[in-house]
Amino acid sequence: MAKAGYLVGTNGAVSLAAATAKTVLAVKSNAAFGLDLKKVRFGFIGTSAAEVPVLVELCYLTWATGVVGTNSTSQTANIHQEYGRQLTHGVTAASAWTVEPTVLTALEEQLITPNGGSVMYDFPLGDTPDCALSEGFAIRMTAPSATFCRALFKWERA
């Protein structure tokens, strides 16, 4: 089967408030296909080595509540196809949520220093998480003190 790969990012720095969980980036499949998450990227714009690590959670998102562009910044127009046959992506995405979407289930979590800390993770072949139709993935962060971050997802249609 031919694959088509896509990416979407926050398209700018997202502000994290102290001690407040925030969905930084989320992507939602449509009713015709799921998503096979291939790569996750995120980084911080911290300036002090004394900053306490940020809790970063890669989450499965059912989208029980939360509409792209409502309480968030729509990134759907910023979804780019990287490879494969040219297909309409049919996916929605958003960044910088002000009201958390639901239901979020943490798949992975990590503490990362905001002082220039970054992660570039490629899921091993055969270990890529996938989602059901009309569901997706999110990156949620909780910082002990205010800071800024950026994030990016890469996926294939499943």
> How does pLDDT run across 34-85, given as a tens digit for each residue?
999 999 999 998 777 778 899 999 999 999 988 887 899 999 999 999 999 8
Q: What is the pLDDT of residue 46?
A: 75
**In the CATH hierarchy, which top-level class contains the domain 4-157?**
mainly beta
CB 137 within 8 A of CB 108: no
**Would the pLDDT of 1 be above 70?**
no
Q: What is the pLDDT of residue 48?
A: 76
Distance separating alpha carbons of residues 102 and 98, to the nearest angstrom: 13
Q: What is the dihedral of CA 140, 141, 146, 151, to 10 degrees?
A: -70
Mean pLDDT of the chain: 92
| Residue at 149: amino acid letter | C
Burial 107-131 (b: 16+ CB within 10 A, else e): eeeeebebbebeeeeeeeeeebbbb
Summarize the confidence of residues 82-107 as an average pLDDT: 92
CB 148 within 8 A of CB 15: yes
The residue whose two tokens read 């890669």 is 58
Q: What is the pLDDT of residue 2?
A: 63
Q: Assign 109 to helix, strand or coil.
A: strand
Q: What is the pLDDT of residue 33?
A: 92
Percent of the chain past pLDDT 70, that is, above it, reads 99
